[in-house]
Amino acid sequence: MTDPATLDSLAARAESEIARAVSPEALDALRVTFLGRKSDLQAALKGISALPAGDRKDAGARLNLIKQRIEAAVGSRGAALAAGVGGPGADVTFPGRAVRSGTRHPLPATIEDICGIFGRMGFERAEGPEVETEYNNFDALNTPADHPARDMQDTFYVRPGLLLRTQTSAIWARVMARRDPPLRIVCPGRTFRRDAADSTHSPVFHQVEGLWIDEACSFSDLRGVLTAFFAEFFGREMKVRFEPRYFPFTEPSTEVSIECTSCGGKGCPACARSGWLEVLGAGMVHPNILAKAGRGYAKPGVRGFAFGMGPERLAMLKHRITDMRWLYDNDLRALGQVRG
């Protein structure tokens, strides 16, 4: 066992196996095999005492060299494994770990999508705070304290006069206070209402508001802008319907519907058999608001239109999501099925 050729082949075998150890555990097992108490090497070391006295010294020196070679191999493979380096023993045919690619959440993706489409039509982005003055959220929008429309937008008051905004229309007043027309803004943001959560409501939701004020802005411009928007958003021409509605800050006001995205207008359970889906409110900026803002807004001929939409609703229609809570649960198994 102590002859040089046998020892050399033992060391070579040990080195080759050690270099291919795939994990620290496998390496430790090899260390035990080649250096441990029951190893050939230990047996040979123990056998030295049985050798003729004259041979013991040389045999001991040879065995020690082999031991050092194996220890060095264990050390260098251990370092390589710790550094994550495959080393000469790496199995390049081993299947790799799949890389999971992330994707944007469908809700912010939809908001970006909407703002991008209006951005290409020349709308600038404007934002405002979530904690808003009662004035900007209601009074400036032609909705005084005794107005019945306030009931439909009950919200959370931080203190008297300060609330969590119920609509991103609240941003109008902020922008109008510091800029004269022409104005063309799109205002995304989070909004709040005292609503119980169900498949179509949430006390915290989002809106994207649009406002265009300029000389000779007309209702047909509003129709053109929204019709172009829906075609862009859904990737095809959509039938768009404008029905009269009431909003305090626009006159005339309209509720805008699109052809049902499930049945294409034939009538199905998703559209209550009407063929239409109501998707946003819009209208011509109320003259009271222009007069109150003064400056360039009060000039003869200056008019504006506005619209407000819920990106949750649009995301649900686009991705065929039937429960709004799905957008807030952040279950990756579900979200992974939607490419934003």
The minimum distance between CB 307 and ligand DAH, in angstroms, equals 5
Beta bridge partners of 242: 256
| Measured distance CA(335)–CA(340) in Å, rounded | 9
Site string for ligand DAH, 14-53 (x = CB under 6 A): ----------------------------------------
- Answer for the pair 171, 183: CB distance below 8 angstroms, yes or no: no
Q: Give the interface segment with ligand DAH, choosing from 76-84, 196-204, 260-268, 275-283 (CB under 6 A).
A: 275-283
For 84, residues 6+ apart whose C-beta sits below 8 A from its C-beta are none
Interhelix angle 53-82/40-47, rounded to 10 degrees, is 160
* Residue 308 binding ligand DAH, by CB under 6 A: yes
Identify residues 202-241 at the interface with ligand DAH (CB under 6 A). Answer: 209
Q: Which of 128, 265, 281, 304 binds ligand DAH (CB under 6 A)?
A: 281
Beta bridge partners of 162: 133, 159
| Measured distance CA(45)–CA(1) in Å, rounded | 10
Q: Which of 137, 167, 202, 257 binds ligand DAH (CB under 6 A)?
A: 167
The minimum distance between CB 258 and ligand DAH, in angstroms, equals 16
* Residue 138 binding ligand DAH, by CB under 6 A: no
What are phi and psi for residue 187, nearest 5 degrees?
-125, 100
Q: Give the interface segment with ligand DAH, choosing from 111-119, 245-253, 264-272, 324-332 (CB under 6 A).
A: 245-253
In three-state secondary structure terms, 79 is helix
* Residue 265 binding ligand DAH, by CB under 6 A: no
The minimum distance between CB 184 and ligand DAH, in angstroms, equals 14
| Measured distance CA(19)–CA(28) in Å, rounded | 12
* Residue 140 binding ligand DAH, by CB under 6 A: no
Residue 250 burial class via C-beta count within 10 angstroms: exposed 0-12, middle 13-18, buried 19 and up: buried
Beta bridge partners of 131: 164
Comparing CA positions, the residue from 255, 259, 237 lying closest to residue 245 is 255
- For the beta sheet containing 276-285, the strands, ordered from the edge strand earlier in sequence to the opposite edge, are 124-125, 183-192, 204-215, 302-309, 276-285, 250-259, 240-247
* Residue 247 binding ligand DAH, by CB under 6 A: yes
Say which DSSP state 152 is in. Answer: G
* Residue 155 binding ligand DAH, by CB under 6 A: no
Q: Binding residues for ligand DAH, how many (CB under 6 A)?
A: 12
The minimum distance between CB 264 and ligand DAH, in angstroms, equals 26
| Measured distance CA(208)–CA(201) in Å, rounded | 16
Q: Give the interface segment with ligand DAH, choosing from 180-188, 256-264, 281-289, 323-331 (CB under 6 A).
A: 281-289
Say which DSSP state 95 is in. Answer: P
Q: Which of 226, 306, 316, 338 binds ligand DAH (CB under 6 A)?
A: 306
Q: Which of 2, 136, 143, 169 binds ligand DAH (CB under 6 A)?
A: 169
* Residue 312 binding ligand DAH, by CB under 6 A: no
Looking at beta carbons only, is 253 or 257 nearer to ligand DAH? 253
* Residue 250 binding ligand DAH, by CB under 6 A: yes
* Residue 132 binding ligand DAH, by CB under 6 A: no
The minimum distance between CB 121 and ligand DAH, in angstroms, equals 16
CA distances from 37 to 3, 15, 44, 45, 161 (A): 20, 18, 11, 10, 82
The minimum distance between CB 299 and ligand DAH, in angstroms, equals 21
Rule CB under 6 A: which residues touch ligand DAH? 167, 169, 209, 247, 250, 253, 281-283, 306-308
